[in-house]
Structure 1
Amino acid sequence: MKQRVITGTLAGAFYLALLWIGSIPFALLAAAIAVISYLELAEMNKLSAYSPEVLTGALAVAVIVCGEWISPTIFHFIWPKLIVFLALLFVSFNVVTKNRFSFARSAYLFLAVFYISIPFQLLVRIRFDSLALALFVQIIIWTTDSGAYFVGRKLGKNKLAPYISPNKTREGSIGAVIAALLVAALFQLIIGSHLLFGSWLMLFAVALLISLFGQLGDLVESAIKRFYDVKDSGTILPGHGGMLDRFDSLIFVLPLLYVLGFIG
Structure 2
Amino acid sequence: MLKQRIVTALAMAGLFLAAVLFLPLLWLAFMLGVVVCLGAWEWARLAGWRSSLSRGVFVLTLGLLLAALFVYAELGLAPQREQVQPVLGIACLWWSFSLLWVKSYPASAVLWRSRVMRSLMGLLILASAWLAAVYLLAFPRGGLLLVVMVVIVAATDIGAYFSGTRFGRHKLAVHVSPAKTWEGFWGGVACATLLAVALWSVLPARMAHISLAAVIAVVVTTALASVVGDLTVSMVKRESGVKDSGSLLPGHGGLLDRLDSLCSAAPVFALGLLLAGW
Q: Shorter-chain TM-score: which interval?
A: 0.7 to 0.9
Identity of aligned residues (%): 28
**Greater C-alpha radius of gyration:** 1
TM-score w.r.t. length of structure 2: 0.75
Q: Which runs of 5+ in 2 are unaligned?
A: 88-113
What SS is found at the alignment partner of 1:204? helix
What SS is found at the alignment partner of 1:238? coil
Q: Distance in 2 between matches of 1:257 and 1:9?
A: 24
Per-residue CA distance 1:68-122 (angstroms, 9 max, x = gap)? 534678xx7xxx9xxxxxxxxxxxxxxxxxxxxxxx5344434422221111111
Q: Distance in 1 between matches of 2:36 and 2:120?
A: 14
**Structure-2 residue corresponding to 1:53:** 57
Mapping of residues 62-73 of structure 1, within 5 Å:
62-64=66-68, 66-67=70-71, 68-70=74-76
- Aligned alpha-carbon RMSD (Å): 2.6
Per-residue CA distance 1:22-71 (angstroms, 9 max, x = gap)? 51232122101111111111112331343363243243244246545346
Residue 109 of structure 1, aligned match among 119, 122, 130: 119
1:262/1:232 CA distance change after superposition, 3 Å: farther
Number of aligned positions between the proteins: 236
**Structure-2 residue corresponding to 1:247:** 259
Aligned residues of 1:39 and 1:49 also touching (Cα < 8 A):
no
**Structure-1 residue corresponding to 2:4:** 3
Residue 158 of structure 1, aligned match among 153, 156, 170: 170
TM-score w.r.t. length of structure 1: 0.79
Q: Distance in 2 between matches of 1:115 and 1:183?
A: 26
Q: Which runs of 5+ in 1 are unaligned?
A: 81-103
- Structure of greater relative contact order (alpha carbons < 8 Å, 6+ residues apart): 2
What SS is found at the alignment partner of 2:172? strand
Q: Distance in 1 between matches of 2:14 and 2:247?
A: 19
Q: Distance in 1 between matches of 2:9 and 2:115?
A: 33
